[in-house]
C-alpha cells in the first residue's frame, strides 16, 4: 500500500484516486477550491482532503494539474515537497498541437524538476493513458501499460509498485530525460485521436513476442 496525495480535481485526478483506493492505497485529495475538494473526496469513499499549500500527507505526490501551472504549483509548495516523490502526469503540448511549450532540449518533467526541492524525486508517469481508460482499467487480457521515467531507481520502483496496485503494468523507460520521448507519445496519441481513431478509447502499450 502506498500513501498518495493528488493535487488536482479534474478527470485525471478522480480516475487515479478511484483506482488508487480500489488498490487499497491511502489517498489524499488536494485542490485550490476547498469545497470542490471535499465534494470530490466525498464521491470517492475513503479519500481524505488536504489543504492547498500545506505539506501533502502522501509520500507520493501526483501533479494532476494542467502543465501550464504545474511548475508554479511545485514552487508554491516549496519545502513542503522535500523528500517526496513527485509524479508528473502532464503533457506540455502547445494549444495548436504542433509542438511543445518547453525548450527543445527539455521536457515538462525536467522543467518541473527544476522547480522542485533538491531532495524531491520527479518521476514521469501516466501521461500516455487517457483518464477514462485509466478509470476503466484493463479489459479482458489486454493490460494497460504505464511508461515511467526518472533519475532515481528507488523512486521509480515505488511508483512501479503503485502502478501495479492499480491493476496496471509499469514499464521503466530510463532516466528523466526520457520524459521527452513519453511526452512525444502523448502528442502522438492526440494526433491519432484527431486524424485516425476519432475517439480516446484506446491506449498504446507493449506486446511481447515469443
Torsions phi, psi for 40 (to 5 deg): -65, -45
- Spatial strand order of the sheet with 60-63 comes to 48-49, 26-30, 3-7, 60-63, 85-88, 121-124, 145-150, 169-172
* pLDDT of the residue at 132: 92
Q: Rounded distance, CA 93 to CA 107, Å?
A: 10
- What pLDDT score does 197 carry? 97
**Reported pTM:** 0.96
Identify each DSSP E strand in the chain by its residue range. 3-7, 26-30, 48-49, 60-63, 85-88, 121-124, 145-150, 169-172
pLDDT exceeds cutoff 90 at 137: no
Lowest-confidence segment of 13-22, 46-55, 89-98, 133-142 by average pLDDT: 133-142
For 168-186, write each residue's pLDDT tens digit. Answer: 999 999 999 999 999 999 9
DSSP code for 4: E
Q: What is the average pLDDT across 106-127?
A: 98
* Mean pLDDT, range 91-118, rounded to an integer: 96
Q: Which SS3 state, helix, strand or coil, does residue 14 take? A: helix
- Give ∠ CA 90-84-88 in degrees, rounded to 5: 5
Cα–Cα distance between 31 and 194 in angstroms, integer? Answer: 31
* Percent of the chain topping pLDDT 90: 94
Which among 13, 7, 184 has a CA at the least distance from the CA of 94? 184
CB contact at 8 A, 91 and 187: yes
**What's the confidence (pLDDT) of residue 140?**
80
* 140-155 as b/e: b if 16+ CB within 10 A: eeebbbbbbbbbbeeb
- In this structure, the strands spanning 60-63 and 85-88 are parallel
Q: Is the pLDDT of residue 56 over 90?
A: yes
* Phi and psi torsions of 116, nearest 5°: -85, 160
Q: What pLDDT, on a 0 to 100 scale, did the predictor assign at position 139?
A: 80
Q: What is the pLDDT of residues 180-210, one digit of tens each?
A: 999 999 999 999 999 999 999 999 999 999 8
Mean pLDDT of the chain: 96
Averaged pLDDT, 105-120: 97
The CA-CA-CA angle for residues 162, 168, 171, to 5°, reads 80
Amino acid at each position: 500500500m502506498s500513501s498518495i496525495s493528488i493535487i488536482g480535481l479534474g478527470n485525471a485526478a478522480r480516475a487515479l484516486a478511484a483506482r488508487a483506493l480500489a488498490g487499497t492505497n491511502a489517498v489524499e485529495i488536494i485542490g485550490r477550491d476547498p469545497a470542490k475538494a471535499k465534494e470530490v473526496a466525498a464521491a470517492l469513499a475513503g479519500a481524505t482532503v488536504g489543504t492547498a499549500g500545506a505539506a501533502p500527507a502522501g509520500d507520493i505526490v501526483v501533479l494532476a494539474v494542467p502543465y501550464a501551472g504545474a511548475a508554479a504549483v511545485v514552487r508554491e509548495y516549496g519545502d513542503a515537497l522535500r523528500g517526496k516523490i513527485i509524479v508528473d502526469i502532464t503533457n506540455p503540448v502547445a494549444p495548436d498541437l504542433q509542438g511543445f511549450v518547453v525548450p527543445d532540449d527539455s521536457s515538462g518533467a525536467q522543467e518541473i524538476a527544476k522547480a522542485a526541492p533538491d531532495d524531491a524525486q520527479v518521476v514521469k508517469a501516466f501521461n500516455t493513458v487517457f483518464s477514462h481508460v485509466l478509470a476503466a482499467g484493463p479489459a479482458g487480457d489486454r493490460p494497460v501499460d504505464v511508461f515511467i521515467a526518472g533519475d532515481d531507481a528507488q523512486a521509480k520502483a515505488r511508483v512501479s509498485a503503485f502502478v501495479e496496485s492499480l491493476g496496471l503494468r509499469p514499464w521503466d523507460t530510463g532516466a528523466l530525460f526520457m520524459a521527452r520521448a513519453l511526452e512525444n507519445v502523448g502528442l502522438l496519441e492526440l494526433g491519432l485521436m484527431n486524424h485516425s481513431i476519432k475517439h480516446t478509447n484506446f491506449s498504446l502499450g507493449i506486446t511481447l513476442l515469443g
